[in-house]
Amino acid sequence: MYNIAVIPGDGIGKEVMKACINVLKSLDIDFNFTYGEAGDECLLENGEALPDTTIELAKNADACLFGAAGETAADVIVRLRQELNLFANLRPVKSYPNTNALFNNLDFMIVRENTEGIYVAKEEEYTEEGAIARRIITKKASKRIIDYAFQFAKNNNKSKVTGVHKANVLKVTDGLFKEVLYEVAKDYEGEVEVEDFYVDATAMYLITRPESFEVIVTTNLFGDILSDEGAGLVGGLGMIPSGNIGEDGALFEPVHGSAPDIAGKGIANPMAMILSASMMLNYLEEYEAEENLNNAILTVLNEGKVLTPDLGGTATTTEVGEAIISALN
């Protein structure tokens, strides 16, 4: 029995979450879903975008599913990441049929460090001439994220981890990150290979030979940028899931927001949310259910009959969810 905290949030977050929960209920796994409020509507009703009750719920769960939040997205998700100590951001780059993917053969994971780098230290005012920001890279956080990447590779039959940095210029901070990469790699010798590239070269390789990647591990800012480049390689927002992993919990969410322009119309693509749930199954080590769900999603996409408008179809959110359920084993 897994306790899952469900935070649908605003706009299409609610719509895609409903479809997603129905799919999860159709699997042969015992879930206990508990619902929490967060986001713009929650702020209007309760005076805060992320109530303590929701934070507690998330902390006590085995994993969380998050839909989307509107204007309050940054507050809600940044706070949840901090409260749950979610140190790794996972963004799969996977091509699916009948989507707008630029490449049809991609399947790799970008593992981004989410607790330090240039985003964490507050920027300082400097002089009238300019400003200054600090970049923090620690041995501990580097080891934790790199270890996670290698472990992920091992658990998912990936044969190589690519460390991405800019150690030629950022000799001290990224020099450390690179040093830790090769230190950790020793523990996986014979199981998982290691290589490393500069971030600028990687940005190019993602276009010229993206199929050569299996698992990329990198620091906060580089991961942020490369993740969106990866999303661009495989098409629309309606197809991109993500995971946030902590030492004692995890949160899975689609990359898209609350999409006010289509909210309430029942036409949002639930695939990104359902693929996020599939990542949750992987995290819970429910590999059989994960495969079953992934195959069902592939079947629906391959058939190409029940697709939402963003993928060129005319189906509703609910219909796509039901089609996936019908395709389950």
- Catalog residues that contact Mg ion under the rule CB under 5 A: 257
Map residues 9-48 to x or -, x wherever contact with ligand ATP holds by CB under 6 A: ---x---x--------------------------------
Smallest separation, CB 123 to Mg ion (Å):
23
Of the listed pieces 66-74, 118-126, 151-159, 321-329, which binds ligand ATP according to CB under 6 A?
66-74
CB-based burial, 54-63: b 16+ in 10 Å, e otherwise: bbebbbebbb
Distance CA 155, CA 231 (A): 23
Active site residue 224: yes
Residue 148: active-site member: no
Cross-sheet strand order for the sheet of 160-165: 31-35, 2-9, 63-68, 249-254, 241-246, 86-94, 107-113, 215-218, 160-165, 193-198
| 97/260 with CB nearer ligand ATP | 260
Per CB under 6 A, the list member of 97, 260, 304, 312 interacting with ligand ATP is 260
Phi-psi region of 65 (alpha: psi -120 to 50; beta: other; left: phi over 0): beta
Identify whether 25 is a catalytic site residue. Answer: no
* Interacting span for ligand ATP (CB under 6 A) from 117-125, 151-159, 255-263, 292-300: 255-263
Chain residues 130-169 in contact with ligand ATP, contact rule CB under 6 A: none
Residue ranges in 298-327 that form contacts with ligand ATP under rule CB under 6 A: 308, 310
275 is an interface residue for ligand ATP by CB under 6 A:
no
The single residue of 10, 174, 196, 224 carrying the catalytic annotation is 224
Hey, which residues are catalytic here?
119, 166, 200, 224, 228
